[in-house]
Each structure stands twice: as C-alpha cells, then as structure tokens.
Chain A
C-alpha cells in the first residue's frame, strides 16, 4: 500500500494525482518500494505469458473438430464407491485459497511488526503450497497412468494433453518456486532479519517487512492464475 505522505509533500488522489505522479520528473510510483514496483512489472509480464498459454488453449480447443475430453469426468475421483466430478481440483482450489488468505494475513501482521504471527502464517502458506504441489503430482501421475500424453489421450481430442501439461506444469512450477521462497522467508522472519534490518544474501537492501508484501504479491498472483486455469481449463 502506498504511503500517501512523503516528506511533507501532499500527493493528490485519483487521476489528477496520477497525472502529477507521472509528470513529476522524479520517481513515478510514489511511496511504493522499488522492489514492489519491480515485482508488479514482473507479474505483468507473467500475466502475458499465462495469457498466451490460455489463448493458445482457447484456439486449439476451439478449432478442433474432435470432441474435447469432458473435464469433470477426466478429473473426477472415485471415492467410497461414488464417482465425484472434479473432486481433486476442487480441493486444490480450496487449499490454494486458504494459503492465499494466510499470506494476506502474514503481510498484515508483518506490517504490524508481529514477528511470530507473521512467521507462522508464512509457514502455513508454504505448507498449503506444498500440499497443492503434492496433489498436482498425484493428478499428473494418475493421468499419465491412464495414458494421457502430450500427443494423445484416450478421452478425446489429441491436443488436450499438450495444453494440460503445459499450462498446469507452468503453474505448478510457479507454485514450487513460491514454496521455496516462502520457506526461506519464514526462516528470515523467525530469525528476525526484518526487525534487525539485516541485509539479504544477494542485496545490500536492508531487511524490511515490505519484503513480505512483495512475496505476498507473487503468491497471490499464483492463486490468481489458478482462478483462471480453474475456470477455463477445468470448468469450461
């Protein structure tokens, strides 16, 4: 969240403020930490990558004359003798939203300098992400054992496999990288690096709880992408 007051300079709100910020011959994103601005720019470029994947999926699915596999059957699970559609995907969605909520709270407690609470919530987020990746690995191995390949599958249109592995694989990679960073930041939080303003490993920047918000932006983005994948790939 931008700090509206900077060195006695009163910033105007709304579009007038935007015009002033942009034309101010100084830093454009006033009150925004540079790391946060750069994370947003990175996320914007990542948005374009995922959009390209989803648009190519739309194009592939829309232009094939063969029936597309029925997602609610393909991703259904057989539990206690009942066929439940999309069960695993629904659980994965709820796990990811849970971890997104704990991350949002971690950012809040970080800014309140509540070290313990912040650390535990980041750890909870990391474990949520780990569960998600685990379930995705299960889903992949299940589909592979059923004969789904990037070039063929027993359910319908051949393109299904390549889009599935590409899109969920790329998203899963993002989650995995996020989990690694969540564990690192949980350690750094518990160790008090943000209270002591200790410098990082690869940077001369002094530790600050804004780093938790930057990490949170990445994690929420991963959740955001899943919202779109869930809607377009699994539900559509």
Chain B
C-alpha cells in the first residue's frame, strides 16, 4: 500500500506549480504584446521578442511537457537535434545575405 502511494506521488505534482507557470505564461505573453504596443524598434525589439519567446518555450517544455522531471536519456535525445536546426538557421542567414547582395548588385547597381 505504501509502495503504490509512493508511486503515485512520483507521477503527479502540486497544483501550485502548474498555476504559477500558467500565470507566468500569461505575463510573458502580455509583455511580448506590449513590445508591439509601444512599437519598440531595432535591437531592443528583437532582443525582447527573443527573450520572451525563449522564456515561454522553456516554461512550456520544462513544466507543461514535464521535461524538467524526465530522465536525461529522453531529454537529451529530444534537445540535441535542435543544434542541427541552429546550424541550419546559421547557414540560411549566410544564404539570404548573399541573395540580398546579388540582388542589390545586379538589380539596383546594375552589375
């Protein structure tokens, strides 16, 4: 009996943690909407958007999707492939800069 009880405790968490994360997600979403409301521009805008985005994504994955409580074998299988996406982003940034350069060079400057 005590064993099953212990097992149940390991699979559920207190409601408070969910409500906290829920509230935080609302606050962060509100902040990211405020970025647009006040029309911040330039680096400030982009960095704020990214900070709020990663904070929200991290909270959802860690607590709502329970990754914080999972074993590392699963967590690492899921998170390491993201480095491939990071590499892809890096490559495509180089690519679009090159495309912009060629377009400016041939369409605007005229070759």
Contacts and interface: CB of A to CB of B under 8 A. Distances in A.
B110 to A, nearest CB: 14
Contacts of B57: 224, 227-228
Interface in B76-90: 76-78, 81-82, 85, 88-89
B49 to A, nearest CB: 5
Residue in B19, B36, B49 whose Cβ sees the most chain A Cβ within 10 Å: B36
Interface stretch (A92-100, A143-151, A163-171): A92-100
A63 B103 contact: yes
A47 B74 contact: no
A188 B5 CA distance: 26
A200 interface: no
A116 to B, nearest CB: 16
A178 to B, nearest CB: 14
A86 interface: yes
Contact of B95 (A32, A59, A213): A59
A37 B66 CA distance: 13
What interface size band does chain A fall in? 35 or more
Interface residues of B, number: 59
Contact of A40 (B69, B78, B104): B78
Contacts of B36: 72, 85-86, 234-235
A130 B88 CA distance: 34
A226 to B, nearest CB: 10
Interface of B: 7-8, 10-13, 15, 18-19, 21-22, 25-26, 29, 32-33, 35-37, 39, 45-46, 49-50, 52-53, 56-57, 60-61, 63-66, 69-74, 76-78, 81-82, 85, 88-89, 92-93, 95-97, 99-100, 103-104, 107-108
14 contacts: A3-B10, A17-B73, A22-B73, A30-B71, A32-B71, A59-B92, A60-B96, A62-B93, A85-B36, A97-B29, A224-B57, A224-B65, A227-B57, A230-B32
